[in-house]
Amino acid sequence: MFRTFSRCRLLGPLFSALASCLALPTLAAPPAFEDTIAQRTLACTACHGAQGRAAPDGYYPRIAGKPAGYLYNQLLHFRDGRRSYRLMTHMVEPLSDSYLHEMAEHFAALDLPYPAPSPVAATAQELQRGKQLALRGDASRQVPACVQCHGTALTGVQPSIPGLLGLPRDYLNSQLGAWRSGQRRAHAPDCMASIAQRLNDSDVSAVSGWLASQPLPVNPKPARVLPAPLPMECGSADAPSPSAAKRGRP
């Protein structure tokens, strides 16, 4: 406040200074510097929205509240080329397993409200097909239901299965497309790749439309355990051991 005032007095007669005096108070005051993990990860929230609650454009997904194991796996996928987005790879490349794990745990622990789902352009028939795939799957094509892995409430399962609600349809479409084309991969055995490759374009559009139109349940947190075993085997990375953290990744 004092700084703004003195600057205005000094440059008072100049039009540019007048403009800057008018403009400055409208800028949101940046939060003060704190030596925290939230501060360290401002590079992440620049795109993924404040506290990782998603960017408005729909392409940078929400990361807040996703299971830590899932987030950690994705960071490793970007680093090791199983997912490709140049900016993400550039961000995570110089970091150690233990630091990436700490970041994953930080965002996983954030408990933030979800916005209401955006309206989706889909016919009733499409939505019905999407609901069927999500809740019952398609046995004739060996497609398990989404709920079999992603939890009965579709809010994900600890430690490594993500929720499917609260994501924009564009994001769901592009991810399922990437799974089908091999652009997005996971640790072997890559169960989601196998499933996505059994889906066709209209399946993807139907299931993304239905998922994107569902509100979050009262408890939006990932389930602790699945009621039944996974229908297929899925790969995942182990959390880094404390001794590996000390050594640093070669």
Partner 1 sequence: MNARMNHAWRHAHRGRLLPVLALLLLLGGLLAWLSWPATPIAVRASATTPATDSTTVERGRYLATLGNCQLCHTPRGGVPYAGGRGIATPFGTIFSSNLTPSPAGLGTWSADDFWRALHHGQSRDGRWLYPAFPYNNTTHITRPDSDALYAYLRSLPPQATPAPAHQLDWPYSTQAALKVWRALYFEEGSATPAAERDGDLEVQRGAYLVRGLGHCSACHAPRNALGASSNMLDLAGGLIPVQNWYAPSLTNPTEAGVQDWTLDDIVALFQSGRAGNALVTGPMAEVVQHSTQHWSAADLRAMALYLKQLPRTDTPVASTTTASVRLKGTGEQLYDKRCAQCHGEQGEGRRGTDGRFAYPPLAGNRAVTMASPANLVQIVLNGGFAPATPGHPRPFGMPPFVLNLSDGDVATLLTYIRTQWGNQAPPVSTLDVQQLRGTSAR
Among 5, 9, 19, 118, contact with partner 1 (rule: CB under 8 A): 19
Contact 132, 204 (CB under 8 A): no
Which residues within the stretch 32-91 sit at the binding site for partner 1 (CB under 8 A)?
33, 35, 37, 39-47, 79-82, 86-87, 90-91
Please give the residues from 111 up to 140 whose contact with partner 1 meets the rule CB under 8 A: none
Work out how close the CB of 112 gets to partner 1 at its nearest, in angstroms, rounded to a whole number. 20
CB of 139 to partner 1, least distance (A): 35
- Residues 8, 95, 127, 244: which binds partner 1 (CB under 8 A)? 95
Of the candidate residues 56, 119, 242, 250, the single one contacting partner 1 (CB under 8 A): 250
Query: Which string of b and e fits 54-78 if b means at least 16 CB within 10 Å?
Result: bbeebebbbbbbbbbbbbbbbbbbb
Closest CA to 149 of 85, 226, 207, 201: 226
* 245 is a site residue for partner 1 (CB under 8 A): yes
Q: Nearest distance from residue 40's CB to partner 1, in Å?
A: 5
As measured in angstroms, the least distance from the Cβ of 164 to partner 1 is 26
How many chain residues interact with partner 1 (CB under 8 A)? 42
Positive/negative CA dihedral, 189, 147, 72, 205: positive
3-state helix, strand, coil in the chain (%, to 5): 50, 0, 50
What tokens appear for 62 in the block? 């929400």
Least gap, CB of 12 to partner 1 (angstroms): 15
Which residue from 62, 63, 50 is spatially nearest to 117, judged by alpha carbons?
62
Smaller CB separation from partner 1, 141 or 247 = 247
Tell me the window of 27-35, 64-72, 212-220, 232-240 that interacts with partner 1 (CB under 8 A).
27-35
Member of 12, 93, 123, 230 binding partner 1 (CB under 8 A): 93
Cα 37 to Cα 45: distance, rounded to the nearest angstrom = 12
Q: Which stretch binds partner 1 (CB under 8 A): 96-104, 117-125, 155-163, 172-180?
A: 96-104
Q: 26 or 140, CB closer to partner 1?
A: 26
> Which residues lie closer than 8 Å to 148 by C-beta, 6 or more apart?
137, 226, 228, 230, 231
Tokens of 34: 């704190």
The CA distance from 115 to 71, in Å, is 21
State the residues that interact with partner 1 by CB under 8 A.
3, 16, 19-20, 23-24, 27, 30-31, 33, 35, 37, 39-47, 79-82, 86-87, 90-91, 93-96, 98-99, 102, 245-250
